[in-house]
Amino acid sequence: MTAEGTFPKSDGDILYASEINNFQSRVESIDVTTDLDITNIDSGAAETASKEYGSYTVPGGSTYLKIKCLLYVEPNSDESGYAGTAGLKIETKDTGGSYSTELDDTFAYLDVDNANTKWKGIQQVSWIHTLTANEKTNGITIQLTTSAKGIDAGSCVVENKQIVFEWA
Protein backbone atom coordinates (compact mmCIF):
# COMPACT_ATOMS: atom_id res chain seq x y z
CA MET A 1 0.00 0.00 0.00
CA THR A 2 1.44 3.36 -1.06
CA ALA A 3 1.20 6.18 1.49
CA GLU A 4 -0.59 9.48 0.82
CA GLY A 5 1.54 11.76 -1.39
CA THR A 6 3.72 8.87 -2.60
CA PHE A 7 3.91 7.96 -6.27
CA PRO A 8 3.74 5.89 -8.37
CA LYS A 9 0.59 4.11 -7.35
CA SER A 10 -0.28 0.60 -8.48
CA ASP A 11 -3.45 -1.46 -8.66
CA GLY A 12 -5.17 -1.58 -5.30
CA ASP A 13 -3.48 1.56 -3.91
CA ILE A 14 -5.66 4.36 -2.56
CA LEU A 15 -5.73 7.68 -4.45
CA TYR A 16 -6.36 10.30 -1.77
CA ALA A 17 -8.45 13.42 -2.40
CA SER A 18 -5.46 15.62 -1.46
CA GLU A 19 -3.53 14.10 -4.38
CA ILE A 20 -6.06 14.91 -7.10
CA ASN A 21 -4.82 18.48 -7.61
CA ASN A 22 -1.28 17.17 -8.17
CA PHE A 23 -2.44 16.26 -11.67
CA GLN A 24 -3.32 19.84 -12.50
CA SER A 25 -1.24 22.99 -12.45
CA ARG A 26 -1.76 25.28 -9.48
CA VAL A 27 -1.45 28.97 -10.28
CA GLU A 28 0.62 30.86 -7.70
CA SER A 29 0.30 34.34 -9.18
CA ILE A 30 -0.50 36.36 -12.28
CA ASP A 31 1.23 39.67 -13.05
CA VAL A 32 -0.25 42.16 -15.52
CA THR A 33 1.61 45.23 -14.24
CA THR A 34 3.76 47.58 -16.32
CA ASP A 35 6.85 47.07 -14.14
CA LEU A 36 8.75 45.27 -16.93
CA ASP A 37 7.72 47.63 -19.77
CA ILE A 38 10.47 49.41 -21.74
CA THR A 39 10.63 51.76 -24.72
CA ASN A 40 14.15 52.16 -26.11
CA ILE A 41 14.69 54.55 -29.00
CA ASP A 42 18.01 55.18 -30.74
CA SER A 43 20.14 54.65 -27.63
CA GLY A 44 22.54 51.95 -28.80
CA ALA A 45 22.58 50.63 -25.22
CA ALA A 46 20.16 48.12 -23.77
CA GLU A 47 17.66 49.41 -21.25
CA THR A 48 16.43 46.95 -18.67
CA ALA A 49 13.56 46.60 -16.22
CA SER A 50 13.61 44.05 -13.38
CA LYS A 51 11.02 42.73 -10.97
CA GLU A 52 11.40 40.31 -8.08
CA TYR A 53 8.60 37.84 -7.31
CA GLY A 54 8.28 35.86 -4.09
CA SER A 55 9.17 34.63 -1.63
CA TYR A 56 6.80 31.81 -2.51
CA THR A 57 6.26 28.80 -0.28
CA VAL A 58 6.45 25.67 -2.42
CA PRO A 59 3.30 23.52 -2.08
CA GLY A 60 3.89 19.92 -1.04
CA GLY A 61 4.21 17.53 -3.96
CA SER A 62 5.51 20.20 -6.37
CA THR A 63 8.57 19.36 -8.45
CA TYR A 64 8.49 22.18 -10.99
CA LEU A 65 7.67 25.86 -11.31
CA LYS A 66 6.32 26.90 -14.71
CA ILE A 67 7.07 30.50 -15.68
CA LYS A 68 4.98 31.75 -18.60
CA CYS A 69 5.64 35.23 -20.00
CA LEU A 70 3.33 36.79 -22.58
CA LEU A 71 5.05 39.92 -23.87
CA TYR A 72 4.21 42.44 -26.57
CA VAL A 73 7.35 43.33 -28.54
CA GLU A 74 7.97 45.86 -31.27
CA PRO A 75 11.53 45.89 -32.60
CA ASN A 76 11.92 48.42 -35.42
CA SER A 77 14.50 48.89 -38.14
CA ASP A 78 14.96 52.17 -40.00
CA GLU A 79 15.79 52.70 -43.67
CA SER A 80 19.52 52.28 -42.95
CA GLY A 81 18.98 48.86 -41.42
CA TYR A 82 19.57 49.77 -37.78
CA ALA A 83 18.17 47.12 -35.50
CA GLY A 84 15.99 46.71 -32.46
CA THR A 85 16.19 43.74 -30.07
CA ALA A 86 14.24 42.44 -27.05
CA GLY A 87 15.42 40.02 -24.38
CA LEU A 88 14.37 38.22 -21.22
CA LYS A 89 16.39 37.00 -18.25
CA ILE A 90 14.97 34.56 -15.67
CA GLU A 91 16.76 34.07 -12.34
CA THR A 92 15.76 31.92 -9.37
CA LYS A 93 17.01 31.38 -5.83
CA ASP A 94 15.93 29.74 -2.65
CA THR A 95 14.78 32.37 -0.17
CA GLY A 96 17.89 33.85 1.42
CA GLY A 97 20.22 32.36 -1.22
CA SER A 98 21.91 33.75 -4.32
CA TYR A 99 20.37 34.07 -7.77
CA SER A 100 21.13 31.51 -10.46
CA THR A 101 20.46 32.44 -14.09
CA GLU A 102 18.03 30.07 -15.80
CA LEU A 103 17.59 31.92 -19.10
CA ASP A 104 19.26 35.00 -20.57
CA ASP A 105 18.51 35.37 -24.25
CA THR A 106 17.29 37.62 -27.05
CA PHE A 107 13.84 36.50 -28.17
CA ALA A 108 13.03 39.17 -30.78
CA TYR A 109 15.39 40.77 -33.26
CA LEU A 110 14.80 42.89 -36.34
CA ASP A 111 17.62 44.00 -38.64
CA VAL A 112 16.42 44.67 -42.18
CA ASP A 113 18.59 46.67 -44.59
CA ASN A 114 16.95 49.67 -46.25
CA ALA A 115 13.49 48.67 -45.19
CA ASN A 116 12.14 51.08 -42.58
CA THR A 117 10.45 47.98 -41.20
CA LYS A 118 8.25 47.62 -38.16
CA TRP A 119 7.29 44.28 -36.72
CA LYS A 120 5.07 43.90 -33.71
CA GLY A 121 3.39 41.05 -31.99
CA ILE A 122 2.96 38.90 -28.93
CA GLN A 123 5.80 36.60 -27.89
CA GLN A 124 5.30 33.78 -25.39
CA VAL A 125 8.30 32.56 -23.46
CA SER A 126 7.70 29.49 -21.27
CA TRP A 127 10.28 28.12 -18.87
CA ILE A 128 10.02 25.10 -16.57
CA HIS A 129 12.25 25.28 -13.51
CA THR A 130 13.07 22.12 -11.54
CA LEU A 131 12.78 22.99 -7.85
CA THR A 132 15.86 22.34 -5.71
CA ALA A 133 15.72 20.77 -2.25
CA ASN A 134 16.56 24.17 -0.70
CA GLU A 135 13.78 25.89 -2.66
CA LYS A 136 11.29 23.25 -1.52
CA THR A 137 12.36 23.80 2.10
CA ASN A 138 13.05 27.56 2.21
CA GLY A 139 10.77 28.87 -0.55
CA ILE A 140 11.66 30.36 -3.92
CA THR A 141 12.19 33.88 -5.22
CA ILE A 142 12.19 34.68 -8.94
CA GLN A 143 13.59 37.73 -10.70
CA LEU A 144 12.62 38.61 -14.26
CA THR A 145 14.48 41.20 -16.32
CA THR A 146 13.34 42.45 -19.72
CA SER A 147 15.70 44.28 -22.04
CA ALA A 148 15.18 46.44 -25.12
CA LYS A 149 17.85 47.87 -27.37
CA GLY A 150 17.60 50.29 -30.26
CA ILE A 151 20.78 50.59 -32.32
CA ASP A 152 21.36 54.05 -33.81
CA ALA A 153 17.99 54.84 -35.41
CA GLY A 154 16.48 51.47 -34.50
CA SER A 155 14.16 51.05 -31.55
CA CYS A 156 12.37 48.46 -29.45
CA VAL A 157 9.34 48.30 -27.20
CA VAL A 158 8.67 45.51 -24.66
CA GLU A 159 5.40 45.39 -22.69
CA ASN A 160 4.22 42.82 -20.17
CA LYS A 161 0.81 41.43 -21.03
CA GLN A 162 0.75 38.55 -18.55
CA ILE A 163 3.22 36.57 -16.46
CA VAL A 164 1.98 33.40 -14.78
CA PHE A 165 3.72 31.23 -12.17
CA GLU A 166 2.32 27.70 -11.82
CA TRP A 167 3.33 24.74 -9.62
CA ALA A 168 3.51 21.29 -11.12
pLDDT tens across 124-136, in order?
999 999 999 999 9
Say if 152 falls within a structural domain.
yes
How confident is the model over 145-162, as a mean pLDDT? 85
CATH number at residue 145: 2.60.120
Query: Is pLDDT above 60 for 22?
Result: no
How confident is the model over 134-159, as a mean pLDDT? 89
Say if 86 falls within a structural domain.
yes
Structural domain that includes position 41:
25-167
The pLDDT of residue 75: 81
The pLDDT of residue 48: 94
Confidence of residue 141 (pLDDT cuts 50, 70, 90): very high
What is the DSSP pairing of strand 117-118 with strand 155-167?
unpaired
**Total number of domains constituting the chain:** 1
Provide the terminal-to-terminal Cα distance of the chain, rounded to the nearest Å: 24
Say if 12 falls within a structural domain.
no
Say if 83 falls within a structural domain.
yes
The pLDDT of residue 79: 61
Query: Per mean pLDDT, which range of 63-72, 131-140, 143-152 is the poorest?
Result: 143-152
Say if 47 falls within a structural domain.
yes
Say if 46 falls within a structural domain.
yes
Confidence of residue 85 (pLDDT cuts 50, 70, 90): confident
pLDDT: which is higher, 56 or 77: 56
